[in-house]
Amino acid sequence: MVEKVTTYQFSKRFKKEYNNLPKEIQKSFDQKLQLFLKDIYHPSLRVKRIQGTKNRWEGSITMKYRFTFEFLENELIFRAIGTHDILNRESQ
């Protein structure tokens, strides 16, 4: 993993899922994103690799909500966001 994220984008799936989240979760993610961009290893993000994958990672928004991401060369792409069950789809 990288020390600091400088280039990132959101997948179409991520954008759609984000727009369907409750407003308070959107706001929480926006705050976590700023923290993530400053310190990807911040303990409150609980970043870890998704079990069974090589390059897909998860981070926590709340105990119930997660986001997933992947490193592609010099860029990071946010793949999905939602309740903990998104991890089941990401590990396939």
pLDDT digits (tens, 9 = 90+) for 8-28: 999 999 999 999 999 999 999
CA gap 80, 16 in Å, rounded: 9
CA separation (Å) from 45 to 12, 39, 56, 78? 23, 9, 15, 14
What's the pTM value of the predicted model, to 2 decimals? 0.86
Q: What angle do CA 68, 92, 3 make, to 5 degrees?
A: 30
Per residue in 30-80, pLDDT (tens digit) is: 999 999 999 988 999 999 999 888 889 999 999 999 999 998 877 899 999
